[in-house]
Structure 1
Amino acid sequence: MLLKGLAALPALAIPLSFIVSSASAQTDALPSWNEGPTKASITDFVSRVTAQGGPDFVAPAERIAVFDNDGTLWVEQPMYVQLAFVLDRVKALAPQNPGWKTKQPFKAVLGGDMRALAASGEQGLMQLIGVTHAGMTSEEFAKITTDWLATARHPRFRRPYTELVYQPMLELLAYLRANGFKTYIASGGGIEFMRPWTDRVYGIPPEQVIGSSIKTRFEMRDGSPEIFRLPQINFIDDTVGKPVGINQHIGRRPIAAFGNSDGDLEMLQWTTLSGGPRFGLIVHHTDAEREYAYDRNSHFGKLDKALDAAGVNKWTVVDMKRDWKKIFPFAE
């Protein structure tokens, strides 16, 4: 997803205990969802697959739900959060690399020239990833990611990115888990970019995070065993890669999938277009006042083919403006 986002460019976490103490302790497990067919489609599906002895009952071991991250669980505008991380890391490292002032794509980043940055394409992004994501151990990269998220602020909301998570989706995650589901992230974002914080933000532990990755190798360094990150792409967990990544990591076909863009189309198809009770949901960004409104023409999180497919395949489409009482946990 980060690769696609760059090519398309034009010119402190909130504790889960604060968000929801226990889904079962609430009269309404989804209080930030307005009553209506969207909310009802979720609760009806969960009721059917958890009804012991019912025709659609699914054993707990098979209750697998997969969630995209960018635009589904947290904000992805005005650019993917990981791309913002890449740009900030280049700027932070620039004083140690004076030659970057005249060398592309670093010159474009330092000069804020998004058109030139886009022109650098995938090769340019690989250079940026090489200096911002590789050449260090996995532990070192996790610390860099954590430190950045603790200080970085969204340009519009002026809050940490880990606060810009969707309250209704946090409730949905808790509701599913309270009903015996195991929840996974399947994102086009970097797997090691997400793993340091998904547990405290979403309640999803690192072993249940699937994402894009770069190559790594084992090394003994001064007598210490380390996993060292290399500047080479290993796997892109987006579009046709998502079902492959899910199958490799989980070994079971999910019965529920949640996304927001064309990058999630194949994941939704693979999850829902098979036998038995299945559920697909697309988050449609329709609220420019409280968040953003975008779909078919967006450079990030483009929703075009998947939106058309939702009608054909009877997936639930969330209209954020209509269906959500609040968007972020901090909202009044």
Structure 2
Amino acid sequence: MQRDDLSPGGDHSAVSTTPLPSWSDGPAKAAILDFVQRVTTPGPDFLPRARRIATFDNDGTLWCEQPLQVQFYFGHQRLEALVRKDADLKQQQPYKAYLERDIAAIKQMGKQGLFEVGATAFAGNTEDEFDAEARSFLAGARHPKLGRRFIDLTYEPQVELLEYLRTNGFKTFIVTGGGIDLVRALAEDAYGIPPEQVVGSSVKTRFELRDGVGVLVKQAEIDSFDDREVKAHNIGLHIGRRPIFAFGNSDGDLAMLRYTLTGDGPRLGLLLHHDDAAREFAYDREFHLSPLAEALDHAAEYGITVVSMKNDWRTVFVPDATASAA
């Protein structure tokens, strides 16, 4: 998969003969192709490579987030390991809800509550220890309903889009409400996005020297919960340039989309609507952890292009790597 630092050096569009083959012909695909053509072709809308910044949400935008975000299943596995050492955790909230997979109680706590439990569960781990555990989890953990590995539930049309943008001189970033370290563990292999181009929710860390080696140790305290308005803040803090292209799927991404679209010059903001119950899941405003309501209702007013999973995508998921290997 093409990395950002390996993309061509020229400023002219390098569109393949059949760009975005997993996208159906229609207004959404046309908007993407037209936008990329305009900003990469000499003319009034041309932008140099340095300004071609694209940001993508992760959960529900680049891979499946139903019935709960992957972060939940990873944290659940960690909590089960902790319970084997301390059985009293089974009766303590919020751990009890997560261990019993009490979906109603979990949704009541909200997405930040989910991340706070994970922060507590992994407190004391170094970043390297966390990364090794995350990669081990991703290598085998499977979706409870779809049966495929979580890593094989990335969206093929979005992987194509990321590659298409990079081929045309864009630098692609993930800006996610999910834990930054979990997403960094998968982003390079799954999306071609290196870890330094992932912005996400984070916990506080403490620097220590262990056997003469400097390490960062995770604390049981949130540093930044990267959702809603905080996404725009963290783009400014960590990227340092306003994106010209942004893609999300919920109201948690609306600030990022509006931050992108209200800048000067050509811009494109897209919103994935999960309306395909046959191939994935159909949901929007009723998903309490990450609802889609305001962004959907006011998309036209805000200048957001809505992408229908059902109508705009020919396929949904990347090929199943485990099936291919069988």
Whole-angstrom distance in 2 between the partners of 1:73 and 1:244: 21
The answer on whether the counterparts of 1:215 and 1:234 sit within 8 Å (CA) in structure 2 is: yes
Whole-angstrom distance in 2 between the partners of 1:306 and 1:138: 35
State the partner residue of 1:37. Answer: 27
Which residue of 299, 308, 316 maps to 2:297? 308
Q: Summarize the Cα distance change of 1:207–1:129 in structure 2 as closer, same or farther, 3 Å threshold.
A: same
Deviations 1:29-64 (A, max 9, x none): 200011111110000000000012x00000111000
Measure how far apart 1:125 and its partner are.
4.7
Whole-angstrom distance in 1 between the partners of 2:234 and 2:49: 22
State the partner residue of 2:323. Answer: none
The answer on whether the counterparts of 1:91 and 1:109 sit within 8 Å (CA) in structure 2 is: no
Q: Map of 1:231-310 to 2, 5 A cutoff?
A: 231-310=220-299
Q: Summarize the Cα distance change of 1:85–1:150 in structure 2 as closer, same or farther, 3 Å threshold.
A: same
Q: Summarize the Cα distance change of 1:126–1:85 in structure 2 as closer, same or farther, 3 Å threshold.
A: closer
Measure how far apart 1:136 and its partner are.
1.1
Identity of aligned residues (%): 50
Which residue of 48, 56, 62 maps to 2:38? 48
Q: Summarize the Cα distance change of 1:94–1:314 in structure 2 as closer, same or farther, 3 Å threshold.
A: same
1:221 aligned onto 2:198: no
1:70 aligned onto 2:76: no
Whole-angstrom distance in 2 between the partners of 1:131 and 1:289: 37
Deviates more, 1:179-188 or 1:295-304: 295-304
Q: Summarize the Cα distance change of 1:202–1:119 in structure 2 as closer, same or farther, 3 Å threshold.
A: closer
Q: Summarize the Cα distance change of 1:324–1:220 in structure 2 as closer, same or farther, 3 Å threshold.
A: same
Deviates more, 1:123-132 or 1:193-202: 123-132
Q: Summarize the Cα distance change of 1:176–1:226 in structure 2 as closer, same or farther, 3 Å threshold.
A: same
Measure how far apart 1:171 and its partner are.
0.5
Question: Secondary structure at 2:84's aligned position in 1?
Answer: helix
* Equivalent position amino acid for 2:232 in 1: P
State the partner residue of 1:4. Answer: none
Deviations 1:183-206 (A, max 9, x none): 000000111111122011100000
Measure how far apart 1:68 and its partner are.
0.3
Q: TM-score, normalised by structure 1?
A: 0.88
State the partner residue of 1:108. Answer: 97
Q: How many residues align?
A: 313
The answer on whether the counterparts of 1:137 and 1:229 sit within 8 Å (CA) in structure 2 is: yes
Q: Summarize the Cα distance change of 1:32–1:130 in structure 2 as closer, same or farther, 3 Å threshold.
A: closer
Deviations 1:210-237 (A, max 9, x none): 0010001211112221111111110111
* Equivalent position amino acid for 2:189 in 1: R
1:197 aligned onto 2:186: yes
Whole-angstrom distance in 2 between the partners of 1:112 and 1:78: 11
* Equivalent position amino acid for 2:249 in 1: N
* Equivalent position amino acid for 1:246 in 2: I
The answer on whether the counterparts of 2:143 and 2:150 sit within 8 Å (CA) in structure 1 is: yes
